[in-house]
Structure 1
Amino acid sequence: MAKMSSVETYVTRIRPAIENFIQQPNKANLSEVEKEVMGFDFGQIRIFQIQIVVPLVIKLGELTGESQELRTSLLDCLRHILSKLYLTEEKALRSILVVVLQQIRDRSGSAMQPDLSEEIKLAAVLCITMALQRSTSDVLETFYGKEAVVVLGQILLTLIEFISKERYRKLVNSSLEGLMVLFYVHDDADAGDVVLRNQIANTIFIFLPKIVTVLFKTAMADDKVGESTKSLGIKALGRITCIMFEETTEEFIKARYDVNAFQSLLSTPNGESNELLNDVNIFGSKRLSLEQNEERLKKLQTGLRSAQWIAATSKHMRIIFVETSILRAHSSVAVRRMYAEMCCLLLKNCAHNLKHNFIHLLENVLALSEDEEKDIAKMCRENLAQLQQQPSCASIFDENAEILLDAHLNKWPRILQRCDDSEQLSELLFFKGFLRNISADKLQLLLLLPKNLELFVMCLLTALDQRTSRELLNEEYSLRHIQEGSAKELAAQCSKLSWRQFKYLNSKRCLDVLYDIAALLGAEPSLNRLIFDFCQDLIERRSSAMNESILLMTLMITPQQRVARESRLSLAQLFVDQLLAEEHWHLALQPDAAWRLKVDKPSSWFKDHTPGLYSSAIEVRTQDCDSDDETEPVNSRVSIADAQFNVLHTCLVLDALGHCAKFIGDTFDRYIFRSLHKVLLKLASSNTMVHEAATFSFVSMQLALKYAAPSHFIECSTDYLTFHMNALLRKSPESSEAVDILTVVLQYSSRGNVPHLESIFQTICDECAKSHQTDNIHSYLRVFNAFLRHAVSWQSATAAEIADIQMHVDEEQNILSTWLNVLNKQPTDTPVDLNSAPNEEPDINMHGVEIEDPSAEPPSKPILPQHIEIVKEIISQSIKFLSQSEQAQQILALECLISGVPLLADYEDELLPLVHLLWQPLVENFSQKNSIELSRCFSL
């Protein structure tokens, strides 16, 4: 019944519709044909396939040159019919391909027809693709022969032209899909049909150079072409290259398991011809006639895809694999995945035929084995593992390690200086994959050579090269707030490490890979000591790369992963000893005034206003009165560049110390006596970057030793700090270092610590009273300001506690009074004993408390609290500096008075004399034009 229904459908509906269209070819009749064939079952009666397809193909040929819209619709209809059946005759396939090509190419087939719409181009490409896909393997084996080279060539050149010139993305993508179908490497192709694949490769190998060139340009095109187009270009490039170079013969299969044969293939062959059949634009050449093109084609067809051709072509493919290596760092996951598939495919199936490119394929797979996308990394690692399981490739990494390392280390500086993010990431990924796959013994053997070690470490230090800028010299003179919070909050606040400013690396993904490389080196005991000793030698020799050496050692020794902890721990202890050396802690962090003048001096205005002969003379005169003529030797000055280097060095030392503390853990307490006062000294620095680095180091030490809060850490270390401050003051009473440490200690301390610091504070007050101590006045005022600010906070906290206690006392007194009233109340129901004697004792409910006599003598002057005495002394000292010409001292003095005067509000006898002393200089300061000073004057 089904067959009868199909016959009936064909006879009564499809055939009349086709005949009507053939007689009157228009859009309406074609729509009727499409409607009738839409639900027809072509698989039941094969004879009707010919009766339907042949008339439509013939009519398509007759319509060549007619309406493009009609031909486009007919091509779509024909494609739909082809999708429902299988072509079982080679003649049918050839006829369809020829007729379709006629719709878009001229009669000679050497060029495209002019003024074609994108729709008809797309319809032709899809129809050709469908015809090839729906052909059986027997038909394809017959079709791919020398007789079909002309048709194949026209199809190839059509697809290549669309890929390289068209902007319509759907047309380009369909052409790429069609190209893979033509080479029998599409997703549905039988990869196990070695005979057919070899036959196809032997038939169209002469077009490979042109195809590879266009696909290479597509893969490397700008991202504007779209992710799908780039991915398809890479996919087609890899699969077409694979079918051309895959090893399917017995000798190649044998070579995979023969070490000697593999080594001979990798060695440079002698006597090979370097000629490559690269003149393949057979049909599109405008210089030659059709007859000349056909003659050249026959000449090319006389040769086969010989071993000589494969070897010569492999050499010319080198540029493809070198240039596309940048794709392993592409931002698109789809592009990287497709490129990884391409490299794995070629490394697996074409290692011998692509012997000149084996190293490039290997390094690409090595780099992609460290990709951040897990499935890409897994695919590449499995490919490497499979490769190493082959006897011929078991030691392939160690044997080629020196070649790979030398090649990449030599080009690494140039890649860094170009500052191309993708190029840098591509190279860093290779280094990471290389270090993970090579054996530690082999790498140690390479680095034992001093030349190799120096080149390797200096390349790492170049990658870590730090950038100096004017931001390193930013200063902040105001007293900073204390950082409080939980351990996680403090760690998060200090984890920015903003002083690490890399000169060449700008992206986070590059830095992450670089940090991983340093961690891999530190995880291998046989390597980390070699590199550690080399870097320590650079530091001791005061090398220009000493900052980068400290950073590299930090990254090696203190990574987040706890691999090889014992080996790292011994290095961390040596590293801390190096960091705590005095030479790192007493560097000039500010440039000399002379250098500041030179940098800020506007010299260009002379040239602008006095051009010509006099400009040079005027500049000579300005140089004569410049600061360079001072008696101080130029070499002893601190330039801006020197100060920037010193600030960066200090920050990196603090950075390293903090990371070492976190890595070592609670046993870091052995270093607190030597390190804490140094860190607190930098914490008091006015340099913003140094303060941030010191904060990171201090918080890291606190967390490592598991203190709950910074104040608790300081209080538990008061003895250490007092020892060092006393030592500094004994050594030099005007020491600014002791003052700076005391400033920070006051910030982090509670009022319970003041008695421990009383003697030190008194020494500073005495020194400040001396008129000749002008150099350290700024530091002394900062100490006073710190004490007063925190005295305010201590007083408010104390007042709250007293108020709370007083509230409890009042409550208890109320309860006591209530009970006394109850006990003393005369009960009415109790009988009175008349014989009892009267009670001579006073009534306890009565006013047993004696009222003070107002005429009594007033009490003597009360003894002031300790902190009030200190506040008085600070205010009296600060008043002296209100008339100073130094703006910074005036501002600090005003801030001291603003904080100190309210503390004496309850002590009028002490406050009034100070106000009398304060009033005149305060009024004089109102004449200042500086808004900062005026605002503080009004606040006071």
Structure 2
Amino acid sequence: CLVLHVVKMDKLTGTMFEKAHFQKAFCTLKPACDAFITEPNDVNSKLLKNAMAMVPEYALTQLQPYVLIPLEIHLKANKSNCTVNVLDVLTTLLKKTSISLWPTFMRIYKMLVEKLTHEKNPDIAVNLSEDIKLSIIIALNLLIEKADIVVLNEMYNEVDCKHVGYLIYICTIIIKKEKMNILRVEALKCISMLLSNWNKNIEFNIRLKIIQRLIKFVPGVLSVCSIIVNATDIQHHSITVAAINLWSTITSLIICDEYVIEDCNPYLEKSICNDNKNNDKQKLNDWIKENRTNFNLVATHMNKTREHQHWRVRLQLVSSCDVLLSKCTSSMKSSVTSLIETLIVLSDDEQPEVEKLANESVDKLHKIFDGQNKKSLLELLEESFYILLSRIPRFIRTSNYIKQKTELSLLSGYIKLFGKAHLSQVLNSYAHLDRLITVLIQILELEYKTITLLEESSIRDLNSIQTFTADMSRNVPWKQLIHFNDTSALCKIECICKLIGLYGDSNFIGRYLMDLFESRAMYRREITLLINMVLSENSGEYHYNLVRDVIDLYLECDVWYLPTSIENNSTTNIADAQKNVIQICLMTEGLSKLVSSLPVTQQSLCLIHCLYPILERVGSEHGPISLAGQSAITLLAHSGGYRDPIDLVIKNSDYLSHHFTNKLWSLSKHPEVLNALKVMMNLNSGDDLLQSFHTMVTEVLVQSCDVHRTENMHSFMKVFHIFVMCVRKREQKCSPVSDHTEKSKSSSNCVIENILQYHKLMTFDLENDLEDEYWENKLNSYTPCENNENVAEDDEDDEDNKKPLPPYIEMVLSIMKRVLHYLPSKHNSLPLQILNEGLNVISSYEDQLLPMVHKIWSPLCTKFNSNTDDIVFREAFNVLTTMASTAKDFIRSRSLKQVLPTITERLVSNAKQSKNVAKGSVYFTSHKYKMQYTILSGLADFVLNLNFFEKDMYDVSNSVAYYLDKDQPIELQNKSKEFYKKLYEKHSDFIWIYLQSLYVDEYEYKSDNERLPTIKVYSSSLFNKSNISKNVSELIEPLNI
């Protein structure tokens, strides 16, 4: 009894407590409701919303009818000025309470729907403001969402679900005609609510009956979804997201496998038994089968959004596909493949959120592989994979970048989906493997027309090789794809090939590609690229043997040494040569990639065969081939644990010297050895390496004396040139740079005093008719101290020269003597280049220098005539300037008499040809232009080194003045101005007066001091002043006092 009494007391206490709260809530809401029913303005609306926020949900639920009274009154009044406030309050109420009474629900439902339609014509949406429509739709969504299941069943049990259908119709009109994005999204959400909220029912039969009434609305709704997703990208992405969500919601609930009658579901673990006893289910099953084609068509439209620009659309598509693959694989059997492909494509999406969710969905598919139905799904995907391979080439050739990327992502995704467990099984089919390789060959078609065949004479330097990144290794001339515009496609294809190598039977695939390499010569470039990518990241038990076989395949003489130049008697055309350059680059790159894929211990075994051929490529005169060689040797050094490429070469120099020795003895058969030799000699790594070069060059020097080897003389010359340049670089590195610059002339005397002295001497010269020999003796008489110093220096040099010459200097002398025999050749400039480098090497050995200069002089003079080719004339001038800088006065007299007139005449005659040359003209690539540029660049130093007098400087200055013309190329104008500036540093008086003669017609310089004579400057009549005045004024202006 005591317990019962306590229980009764607790209930009484609880009832009293709830009553107290109810009274408090009523007291809170009543003033606000009274104010709102009187005037639903903004202030009263805010007051009522605040009151509802203060009241607990359970109390507000009990007072819900009381709060609805003012709302219903104003909704019926249909006054647009207060509608927004009423709807705002209703929304707040519906967020905190749910309507459990069918009459109340239907009353509010009708009032809200009526707000959206005309009274006279209910089929037309009323012309309200977008904000009011939005508020109505939001209120309806909350009303339906928060409705009790009993209320919803009443609504769905109506005849034909008339109220549901009518609101769906109104929402579709809003979606099609309205412009406000959020309004259209809420309308789509409203449809989704109407067609999915019945799912709260647990009983299967009730659900089935409701679906039977709703299926009549599904085609129209799916049609609206299709229209939305097919709109342009101008449409806001949120609308597309809502449409995709509506599609998957309806499909997964109404068209799901649960209502399909089959013996079993072939794609899911759960089987659905046939139940013919249920007529409703049989009718629904028949309806699904009748409309399956339409459902697949809608799914096709939805799958197109996987290429949508906004990532949230793609994210929603992933969610929708995941839902459908878990619930609708039987009802939408024909769309299963496209849904899987969508997930595969988006699993490689650039947006992390999309990629993560898609990969999670793909992982679920992997579990299906391991389940009891894996065979049927694998067969389905194999068939789809083959279909994909059949269509990819056409898409790649005809589609834009987005579709190309989609197809490549799909191919990559299929390979990932098959995985290591199934890809080998798929590719065991010859049809699948051959088709896959053929497709990869087609999409990897390489562009060859952009490859340059111009050769570069510069020596490749391993000291300055740049580090190659992954992006740089793709953006190279020999890997430009015809069907793609950027390197991202190549990166994607490279990933696909690596996956094939990792997941497939790499030994089987590699051998198959090697067979294709030999049998399909037309596609050898693409096959080579495929081999490189498929085998570059592999570590199988047969990998080493496979790599060795591929290396042997690449290094076959007929394959490795392809013609890259077009000769008169050659059958190779430009296109073939360009293709060969690409093939050589790919094989060079392939060697390094294949070797670097091996463990370090196995790499050293392959280096014996690979390093020397790669050095040949590094030294190639073709830019792309050399770049491929540099990239390859950098990769080998990095993967093998070497400090840099130089360290790699030096530590493997023993067997490299063996290659050099053997190939130099048969130079005519192995001309490429010179490319590798240039690279080796340019290392500057020490006397030991130089000594090994000395031995090699000695052998070549002996061969050059063989009268039966004259056809190889050009190759011998290249070896000599390389060696002499190597010695010169060593000399520059080991010897401190001597300062040959003379101190500038003291400027204590002003320019005017120099002019007076000049005038006095010229007057004396004219009166006595003196010859040049007089002035030479006069000059020598003024420099006794210098002569004494030179004698002392000569004595010291004699003592130094008694020391034995270094072996490499003796070798340089021997080379120069040998080269002199080929100097009379009219068209070969290489002997002149060798002599020029040799003179620089022996410049500090005067006992050897002057006799060598004397031997060179006579054959050199034959090059300075009007018939000499421009390139030979240029190289001869370079030798002459080197002689002037090293031998100086030793060649002064003979230079003035034998070569200077020819040089000035050549400058003057060529000035006419370079005048008025258009910018960008082919003339700027000609040897004639290069010769002009070289002479103008070196002529000032030549004049200064040989101490020209005014008369000789005047002739030279006149020849250069032709290039001050404004119609000459700007580079030649600048070089001519530099000529006068250099001479001015030592001969300021002469240059100042000479420039004045070019600038003024006639001018007389007088002084107030009677002791100073009057000086007249006469105009030169050789030049058009209007054409040269600009450059002359630029020269004179900073010289004026």
Question: So what's the TM-score if we normalise by structure 2?
Answer: 0.67
Is contact 1:736-1:776 (8 Å) kept? no
The percent identity for this pair of structures is 20
- The amino acid that maps onto 2:360 is M
Is contact 2:116-2:133 (8 Å) kept? yes
Alignment of 1:15 with 2:15, yes or no, is no
Q: Which residue of 1 aligns with 2:183?
A: 171
CA gap 1:855/1:463 in 2 versus in 1, 3 angstroms: closer
CA gap 1:125/1:785 in 2 versus in 1, 3 angstroms: farther
Matched residues in 2 for 1:759 and 1:691: separation?
Answer: 27
Alignment of 1:110 with 2:123, yes or no, is yes
Alignment of 1:566 with 2:541, yes or no, is yes
| TM alignment of 1:85-484, pairs within 5 A | 85-107=97-119, 108-114=121-127, 116-147=128-159, 149-184=161-196, 198=208, 201-219=211-229, 221-248=231-258, 255=265, 306-328=284-306, 333-368=311-346, 373=352, 375-388=356-369, 391=372, 393-438=373-418, 447-473=427-453, 475-483=455-463
Is contact 2:637-2:644 (8 Å) kept? yes
CA gap 1:685/1:385 in 2 versus in 1, 3 angstroms: closer
Alignment of 1:738 with 2:670, yes or no, is no
Task: Give 3-state SS (helix, strand or coil) of 2:550's partner.
Answer: helix
Matched residues in 2 for 1:366 and 1:734: separation?
Answer: 54
Matched residues in 1 for 2:288 and 2:811: separation?
Answer: 92
Matched residues in 1 for 2:75 and 2:817: separation?
Answer: 108
Matched residues in 2 for 1:882 and 1:118: separation?
Answer: 94
Matched residues in 2 for 1:257 and 1:467: separation?
Answer: 45
| TM alignment of 1:848-859, pairs within 5 A | none
- The amino acid that maps onto 1:239 is T
User: Quick check: 132-141 or 651-660, which moved more?
Assistant: 132-141
Matched residues in 2 for 1:653 and 1:558: separation?
Answer: 13
Is contact 1:662-1:700 (8 Å) kept? yes
Q: Give ranges in structure 2 of 5+ residues lacking alignment.
A: 1-19, 739-794, 865-875, 878-899, 915-927, 942-1041
Shift in Å, 1:426: 3.3
1:355-386 deviation line (CA, Å, top 9, x unaligned): 23233334444555566746325421442245
Alignment of 1:588 with 2:600, yes or no, is no
- The amino acid that maps onto 2:25 is S
Is contact 1:484-1:710 (8 Å) kept? no
1:515-560 deviation line (CA, Å, top 9, x unaligned): 33323332356x334432332222212432222212222222122x
Alignment of 1:43 with 2:43, yes or no, is no
User: Quick check: 26-35 or 212-221, which moved more?
Assistant: 26-35
- The amino acid that maps onto 1:319 is L
- The amino acid that maps onto 1:504 is H
- The amino acid that maps onto 1:336 is R
Is contact 1:654-1:693 (8 Å) kept? yes
Task: Give 3-state SS (helix, strand or coil) of 2:462's partner.
Answer: coil
Counterpart among 60, 70, 75 of residue 75 in structure 2? 60
Task: Give 3-state SS (helix, strand or coil) of 1:44's partner.
Answer: helix
Q: Which residue of 1 aligns with 2:727?
A: 791
- The amino acid that maps onto 2:376 is I
CA gap 1:738/1:513 in 2 versus in 1, 3 angstroms: closer
1:208-234 deviation line (CA, Å, top 9, x unaligned): 223223323444544443444443333
Counterpart among 481, 485, 488 of residue 502 in structure 1? 481
Q: Which residue of 1 aligns with 2:631?
A: 696
Shift in Å, 1:198: 4.8
CA gap 1:790/1:936 in 2 versus in 1, 3 angstroms: farther
Q: Greater CA radius of gyration, 1 or 2? A: 2
CA gap 1:572/1:377 in 2 versus in 1, 3 angstroms: farther
CA gap 1:312/1:512 in 2 versus in 1, 3 angstroms: farther
Shift in Å, 1:578: 1.1
Highest relative contact order (Cα 8 Å, sep 6+), 1 or 2?
Answer: 1
Task: Give 3-state SS (helix, strand or coil) of 2:637's partner.
Answer: helix
- The amino acid that maps onto 1:135 is A
Matched residues in 2 for 1:192 and 1:510: separation?
Answer: 51
Shift in Å, 1:464: 2.4
Matched residues in 1 for 2:705 and 2:136: separation?
Answer: 98
CA gap 1:793/1:439 in 2 versus in 1, 3 angstroms: closer
Matched residues in 2 for 1:168 and 1:796: separation?
Answer: 78
Alignment of 1:909 with 2:847, yes or no, is yes
Shift in Å, 1:244: 1.8
Shift in Å, 1:346: 0.9
- The amino acid that maps onto 1:98 is K
1:631-671 deviation line (CA, Å, top 9, x unaligned): x7xxx532232122111111111121111110123323334
Counterpart among 524, 527, 534 of residue 512 in structure 2? 534
Is contact 1:879-1:893 (8 Å) kept? yes
Alignment of 1:864 with 2:805, yes or no, is yes
Question: So what's the TM-score if we normalise by structure 1?
Answer: 0.74
- The amino acid that maps onto 1:380 is S
| TM alignment of 1:714-725, pairs within 5 A | 714-725=649-660
CA gap 1:696/1:225 in 2 versus in 1, 3 angstroms: same
Q: Which residue of 2 aligns with 1:761?
A: 697
Is contact 2:321-2:343 (8 Å) kept? yes
Shift in Å, 1:681: 1.9
Matched residues in 2 for 1:33 and 1:785: separation?
Answer: 99
User: Quick check: 79-88 or 195-204, which moved more?
Assistant: 195-204
Shift in Å, 1:149: 3.3
Q: Give ranges in structure 1 of 5+ residues lacking alignment.
A: 266-301, 594-631, 803-853
Matched residues in 2 for 1:883 and 1:55: separation?
Answer: 117
- The amino acid that maps onto 2:624 is M
Task: Give 3-state SS (helix, strand or coil) of 2:844's partner.
Answer: coil
Matched residues in 2 for 1:736 and 1:307: separation?
Answer: 80
Task: Give 3-state SS (helix, strand or coil) of 1:637's partner.
Answer: coil
Is contact 1:681-1:737 (8 Å) kept? yes
Matched residues in 2 for 1:341 and 1:389: separation?
Answer: 23
Q: Which residue of 1 aligns with 2:986?
A: none
Is contact 1:535-1:553 (8 Å) kept? yes
Alignment of 1:678 with 2:613, yes or no, is yes
Matched residues in 1 for 2:215 and 2:824: separation?
Answer: 93
Is contact 2:306-2:317 (8 Å) kept? yes
Is contact 2:32-2:44 (8 Å) kept? no
User: Quick check: 457-466 or 467-476, which moved more?
Assistant: 467-476
CA gap 1:311/1:490 in 2 versus in 1, 3 angstroms: closer
Task: Give 3-state SS (helix, strand or coil) of 1:544's partner.
Answer: helix
Counterpart among 617, 642, 646 of residue 576 in structure 2? 642
Q: Which residue of 2 aligns with 1:576?
A: 551
Matched residues in 1 for 2:228 and 2:240: separation?
Answer: 6
CA gap 1:733/1:365 in 2 versus in 1, 3 angstroms: closer
